[in-house]
Amino acid sequence: MQLTITLPRGYGIPKFNVGQRTQQGKIIGIEVLPHDSVLAKNCGSGYRYVIMASRYTKEVKYLESDQITSLSPSEVEAEILEEVDYYLTQLVSC
């Protein structure tokens, strides 16, 4: 079975992707804020991103695209290598 994501009409494509690493953390979800919702009146309509600030905690943040900064390719590579080292250490200690 192939997963399908349907975007609401009038919203366009999200600026960021699920799994993308940013300066604020890793994006683990995307919410759509309908134009006529209470949240949209407080936060603005469109997309809101669920970001996990650290893999060591369960804390998540809800941010809009203008509050998120992308990482440079070298920063992404450094984070991935750090994560690989972390998991290799976990494997060795087993």
For 11-71, the DSSP string reads S---SS-TT-EETTEEEEEEEEE-TTSHHHHHH-SEEEEEEES-TTS--EEEEEGGG--BP
| Residue ranges, the chain, pLDDT below 50 | none
pLDDT of residue 82: 92
> Are the C-beta atoms of 32 and 44 separated by less than 8 Å?
no
pLDDT given for residue 1 in this prediction: 66
Question: DSSP character for 6?
Answer: -
What confidence score (pLDDT) does residue 70 get? 96
What pLDDT shows up at residue 94?
Answer: 72
pLDDT given at position 43: 66
- Tokens standing for residue 14: 């999200």
